Amino acid sequence: MSVVRVEHLQLNYERDAQRVEALRGISFDVNAGERVAIIGRSGGGKSSLMRVLSGLLSPSAGTVEAAGFRMEAGRLPPRAMYEQVGLVFQNYGLVPQLSALQNVLCGRLLHQRSASSLLHFPGEDRDQARALLEELGLGERLHTRSSRLSGGEQQRVAIARLLHQNPRVMLLDEPIASLDVHWARMAIERLAGGGPQSAERALIMVMHDLNMARQFATRVIVLHHGEILFDGDPDQGCRLLEELESRDATDGEVEIAVNEAAADATAPSDASAPAPLPIDGLWGKTSFYVVLMLLIAGLYIWSAMGVDFSVARIFGNADHAANFLSRMLPPDFSVSANVGKSLLETVQMALIGTTLAAIVSLPIATLAARNISARPFQVVARLILNLLRTIPSIIWGLFFVAIVGLGPFPGILALTFYAAGYLGKFYYEGIESIDPRPLQALRTVGATPLQRFRFGVFPQVLPLMLGYTLYMLEYNVRAASILGVVGAGGIGFYLYTYINNFQYDRAATALLFLLAVVTVLDAASSRLRARLAG
Ligand SMILES: Nc1ncnc2c1ncn2[C@@H]1O[C@H](COP(=O)(O)OP(=O)(O)OP(=O)(O)O)[C@@H](O)[C@H]1O
């Protein structure tokens, strides 16, 4: 009984405004119980075929039917197909920050319908995932982050995930390339299912190792330049490819020899003679840089004149500066109690403001990220974040003092709004920089968009987000220290009052306290951020 039917399948890519025909109208059927190896030279279209069979790309023309689900031009399959069709990616497609066990559990995402599955998987699923990993020799690595596993171990985790998904059609893009013969045999036998299951399953595997293809496949398809060159007996197919490869290798040698001869013939007779200097080009470049430097210098002079910038004014008023500094010393520590209390309030404001900003900005950033959100949401979310960022925290402070009155509360709101603008930008840029391959893999286990965010995006971006949030906290302590100027709480109130009343020795105490707190916080935050980055 055929479980995969491919008819006149074409797949084109666009590259540099040119059409690349990766698959040129191929047709074949695969029956339950078959183990088909797709082999061929590099660029022949093997991975492209896998992407279409797994529903990651829709055909440019022709149709594909996998386990009863039909795909055609512009039509991707429904999520339900992944109950029947699964894929092991060439690059494994594991989420690097999740453990081996968690990655395998992702194979069951299609079956997890309750919201609680975003936090934990049922015990039965966990037991089965554990057993699969033990079977594949990874019993000691259950809780190891997949990024810390070797290539062969990662490949076995990806195979265990597919086994946990347990589809009828198993697609495998070089599934055993990193495995030794023992684990390769073990994995293929396990995938084929053994017993009654083997009659129901179909394995379609891209393979580079022809010995493995001979050993493990019941049928071989040779893909060459997007066309099927051969479909049938494994030994015959592998021999054909070997011939093709040796013929191409010989052609290559001839080509290289011909090219070398041609290069010799055109080489200048005195190879050691220096090449003449392109005088015109050199002068052109130099004059360009001279003009550029003059323009930049002009820009600085224009700006300095515009703001009446004068070095003489700094040095000419040195006695004022000395007077100002001398009045700060020695600091008046009699105000330590008040200053200490307001400094504590400053830190509390920054802590609450930053936390609220992180909570507010995460959903907005998710909507703003190009790789996971739709265009209209991106535009609106980015506009909101731009607006929040454009207004300085002190102006937000003024707004909120006018709305809710004096005290630290409007200060917290000001910090929340201002920091949310920055954090949102940092977060969405972080989300856009994640590795897209694990997300694709989660699509092929039938994960919902929310599940893809929870298990694919969030673990990848979390260390980065925590780092940014800590950095924002550092920044917010400084920002909170000035909000008191507009009556929005914190140490700024005392700083402003002391300076206005010419009590510079008291202001010095407030500044020293602030410096101490900021220094301690910076050191702690840098350490934490370094650990998160590692
Ligand atoms: N995203 C893409 N955009 C443009 N062209 C692509 C893209 N992916 C693949 N191609 C082109 O399509 C053709 C088939 O590529 P494909 O990756 O399917 O080959 P392959 O047989 O899997 O190669 P390999 O054995 O090296 O992995 C190649 O010419 C390749 O350059």
331-354 average pLDDT score? 93
Among 49-53, 109-113, 271-275, 404-408, which stretch is predicted with the lowest mean pLDDT?
Answer: 271-275
Contact 384, 425 (CB under 8 A): no
Rounded to 5 degrees, what angle do the CA atoms 114, 120, 121 make? 75
Name the maximum alpha-carbon separation found in the chain.
97
pLDDT tens string 467-525: 899 999 989 998 998 898 888 888 988 888 999 999 999 999 999 999 999 899 888 88
ipTM: 0.96
Pairing of strands 219-224, 35-39: parallel
CA of 178 to the centre of ligand 1 (A): 21
Q: Interhelix angle for 458-483 vs 336-368, to 10°?
A: 140
Pairing of strands 169-173, 85-88: parallel
**Buried b or exposed e, range 358-375, using 16+ CB within 10 angstroms:** bebbbebbbbbbeebbee
CA-based torsion, 191, 192, 193, 194: positive or negative: negative
Residues in CB range of 145: below 8 A, 6 or more apart: 96, 97, 98, 99
- Which atom of ligand 1 is closest in space to residue 13's alpha carbon? 4
Confidence of residue 185 (pLDDT cuts 50, 70, 90): confident
Residues in CB range of 85: below 8 A, 6 or more apart: 53, 54, 55, 66, 67, 69, 77, 167, 168, 169, 171, 444
CA atoms within a 13 Å half-sphere pointing along the CA-CB vector of 413:
17
Among 1-10, 18-27, 313-322, 384-393, which stretch is predicted with the lowest mean pLDDT?
Answer: 313-322
The three-class DSSP label of residue 208 is: coil
Dist. CA 46–CA 226, nearest whole Å: 8
Dist. CA 514–CA 511, nearest whole Å: 5
Rounded to a whole number, what is the distance in angstroms from the first to the last CA of the chain?
Answer: 52
pLDDT reported for residue 272: 47
The CA R_g of the chain, rounded to the nearest whole Å, is: 33
Q: Look at residues 323, 361, 267, 360 and name the one whose alpha carbon lies nearest to residue 502.
A: 323
Q: Is 10 left (phi over 0), alpha (psi -120 to 50) or beta?
A: beta
208-233 average pLDDT score? 93
Dist. CA 384–CA 390, nearest whole Å: 10
- Which atom of ligand 1 is closest in space to residue 44's alpha carbon? 21
CA of 38 to the centre of ligand 1 (A): 14
Token pair, residue 292, equals 């550029």
pLDDT tens string 64-115: 999 999 998 888 888 889 999 999 998 899 999 999 999 999 999 888 776 6
Q: Name the residue of 46, 49, 174, 228 to mutate for ligand 1: max ligand atoms within 8 A of Cβ.
A: 46
Residues in CB range of 179: below 8 A, 6 or more apart: 152, 155, 156, 187
164-191 average pLDDT score? 86
pLDDT reported for residue 128: 93
Kindly report the protein residue whose alpha carbon is nearest to atom 7 of ligand 1. 13
- Which atom of ligand 1 is closest in space to residue 223's alpha carbon? 21
The three-class DSSP label of residue 447 is: coil
pLDDT reported for residue 265: 43
Q: Name the residue of 10, 15, 171, 207 to mutate for ligand 1: max ligand atoms within 8 A of Cβ.
A: 15
- Kindly report the backbone phi and psi dihedral angles of residue 136, in degrees, each rounded to the nearest multiple of 5, phi listed first: -95, 20
Dist. CA 45–CA 24, nearest whole Å: 9
pLDDT > 70? residue 174: yes
CA-based torsion, 434, 435, 440, 441: positive or negative: negative
148-152 average pLDDT score? 92
Q: Look at residues 459, 402, 395, 398 and name the one whose alpha carbon lies nearest to residue 421.
A: 395
Confidence of residue 253 (pLDDT cuts 50, 70, 90): very low
CA of 460 to the centre of ligand 1 (A): 27
Dist. CA 137–CA 125, nearest whole Å: 19
Which is more confident, 38 or 484? 38
Q: Look at residues 160, 46, 191 and name the one whose alpha carbon lies nearest to residue 92.
A: 160
Q: Is 45 in the pocket of ligand 1 (CB under 6 A)?
A: yes
Amino acid at 233: D
Which is more confident, 267 or 144? 144
Dist. CA 289–CA 173, nearest whole Å: 52
pLDDT reported for residue 351: 95
pLDDT tens string 507-523: 999 999 999 998 998 88
Arithmetic mean of pLDDT over the chain? 88
Dist. CA 248–CA 253, nearest whole Å: 9
Token pair, residue 109, equals 């995402």
361-387 average pLDDT score? 95
CA dihedral 233, 236, 237, 240 (to 10 degrees): -170
Confidence of residue 282 (pLDDT cuts 50, 70, 90): low
341-369 average pLDDT score? 95
pLDDT reported for residue 313: 80
Confidence of residue 424 (pLDDT cuts 50, 70, 90): very high
pLDDT reported for residue 261: 43
Q: Is 43 in the pocket of ligand 1 (CB under 6 A)?
A: yes
Q: Look at residues 233, 227, 162, 203 and name the one whose alpha carbon lies nearest to residue 24.
A: 227
Dist. CA 167–CA 54, nearest whole Å: 12
pLDDT > 60? residue 196: no
251-276 average pLDDT score? 46
